[in-house]
Amino acid sequence: MRNLNNLLEPIRAEMGLPALAAAVIEKNKLVALGAVGKRRVDRDDPVRREDRFHIGSCTKSMTATLIARLVEMGRLDWGSMVAEVLLDIRKGIRRDYWKVTLEQLLTHRSGLPDDRTPHPQVFTKLWSLSAKQRLQAAEVILQQEPVAQPGEKTIYSNGGYVVAGTMAEVVTGKTWEELMQEHLFRPLGIKSAGFGAPTDGVWGHRSGTGGYLPVPPSPFADNPPVLGPAGTVHLSMPDWARYAILHLRGATDENPPLLCKTSFARLHTPPDAGAYAMGWGVTQPEWARGRVLQHAGSNTMWFAQILLVPYAGAGFLVATNAADERARDGVHRVMDVLREGRLK
Torsion of CA 341, 286, 27, 70, to 10 degrees: 130
Backbone angles phi and psi of 307, in degrees to 5: -135, 120
| Contact predicate 224/126, CB 8 Å | yes
User: What percent of the chain shows pLDDT beyond 70?
Assistant: 100
Give 10's pLDDT tier (boundaries 50, 70, 90): very high
> What does the pLDDT look like over 60-78, one tens digit per residue?
999 999 999 999 999 999 9
Q: In a 10 Å sphere around its CB, with 0-12 CB exposed, 13-18 middle and 19+ buried, how is residue 139 labelled?
A: buried
Look up residue 189 and give its DSSP letter. T
Q: Say yes or no to pLDDT of 203 above 70.
A: yes
Helix (H) or strand (E) holding 309: strand 303-309
**Do residues 92 and 148 both lie within one domain?**
yes
The answer to the question of residue 183 being in a domain is no
If one counts the domains in the chain, the total is: 2
**Do residues 33 and 67 both lie within one domain?**
no
**Do residues 121 and 246 both lie within one domain?**
no
The answer to the question of residue 19 being in a domain is yes
The answer to the question of residue 73 being in a domain is yes
Tell me the CA distances in angstroms from 10 to 67, 130, 144, one per residue in order: 40, 41, 46
Please tell me the predicted confidence (pLDDT) of residue 119.
82
Provide the 10 A C-beta neighbour count for residue 146: 17
The answer to the question of residue 46 being in a domain is yes
> From CA 271, how far away is CA 79, in angstroms rounded?
14
CATH of the domain at 337: 3.40.710.10
Query: Within 13 Å, how many C-alpha atoms sit on residue 20's CB side?
Result: 24
Give 227's pLDDT tier (boundaries 50, 70, 90): very high
**Do residues 138 and 162 both lie within one domain?**
yes
Please tell me the predicted confidence (pLDDT) of residue 344.
63
**Do residues 91 and 233 both lie within one domain?**
no
| Contact predicate 60/230, CB 8 Å | yes
> From CA 9, how far away is CA 14, in angstroms rounded?
8
Q: Say yes or no to pLDDT of 166 above 70.
A: yes
Q: Which residues pair with 212 in a beta bridge?
A: 207
**Do residues 213 and 312 both lie within one domain?**
yes
Domain-terminating residue out of 122, 147, 178: 178
**Do residues 207 and 92 both lie within one domain?**
no
Q: Say yes or no to pLDDT of 237 above 90.
A: yes
The answer to the question of residue 173 being in a domain is yes
Q: Say yes or no to pLDDT of 343 above 90.
A: no
> From CA 326, how far away is CA 329, in angstroms rounded?
5
**Do residues 199 and 335 both lie within one domain?**
yes
The residue type of 197 is A
> What does the pLDDT look like over 26-37, one tens digit per residue?
999 999 999 999
**Do residues 109 and 248 both lie within one domain?**
no
Domain-terminating residue out of 139, 157, 178: 178
3-state secondary structure of 305: strand
**Do residues 11 and 108 both lie within one domain?**
no
> What does the pLDDT look like over 80-133, one tens digit per residue?
999 999 999 999 999 999 999 999 999 999 999 999 887 888 989 999 999 999
The answer to the question of residue 322 being in a domain is yes
> What does the pLDDT look like over 280-294, one tens digit per residue?
999 999 999 899 999
Q: What share of the chain is helix, strand, coil (3-state, %, to 5)?
A: 45, 20, 40
Domain range enclosing 87: 62-178
